[in-house]
Amino acid sequence: MIFVISVCLWHSPSYASNRYYADNTLEPTAGFAWDWSAGAGYYIEDSYLVGMDSYSHGVLLDINLALSYERFYLDIDHSQLSGGVIIGYSLIDKFDWGLDILGTNIQAGFNETGLDLYAEGTIKELDGIKSRRYDFDTGLRLTRRFENSQISFEYLHDISSAHNGWVVNTFFSHILPWQNWEFRTGLGFSAYSADFTNYYFGITPSEATPTRPVYHTGTSTSMIFEFHAEYPLNQHWVFLGGWLSTWFSNEIVNSPIVSQGYQHKAMMGVRYVF
Instruction: Render pLDDT for 115-127 as a digit per residue (tens, 0 to 9).
Output: 877 677 899 999 9
pLDDT in tens, 187-225: 999 999 999 999 999 999 999 999 999 999 999 999 999
Question: What is the reported pLDDT for 154?
Answer: 97
Mean pLDDT of all residues in the chain? 87
Quote the CA–CA distance of 15 and 126 in Å, as a whole number: 41
Res. 6: pLDDT tops 70: no
Reported as a single tens digit per residue, the pLDDT across 34-57 is 888 898 999 999 989 999 877 888
Distance CA 244, CA 274 (A): 27
Q: What is the pLDDT of residue 23?
A: 67
Between CA 148 and CA 176 the distance in angstroms is 7
Nearest to 35 by CA among 1, 2, 11, 6: 11
Q: Give the mean model confidence (pLDDT) for residues 60-66.
A: 82
Say yes or no to pLDDT of 140 above 80. yes
Distance of CA 44 to the CA centre of its chain: 16
Rounded (to 5) percent helix, strand, coil in the chain: 5, 55, 40
Q: Is there a contact between 15 and 2 (Cβ–Cβ < 8 Å)?
A: no
Question: What is the model's pLDDT at position 175?
Answer: 92
Q: Which residue has the higher pLDDT, 16 or 76?
A: 76
Cβ contacts of residue 210 below 8 Å, gap of 6+?
A: none
Total-model pTM: 0.88
Residue spans of alpha helices (H) in the chain: 194-201, 250-253
**Residue 63, pLDDT score:** 82
DSSP for 112-155, please give it: TTBS-TT-SS--GGGTTPPPBPPP-EEEEEEEEE-SSEEEEEEE
Mean pLDDT of 154-168: 97
> What dotted CATH number matches 32-273?
2.40.230
Length of the chain as a residue count: 274
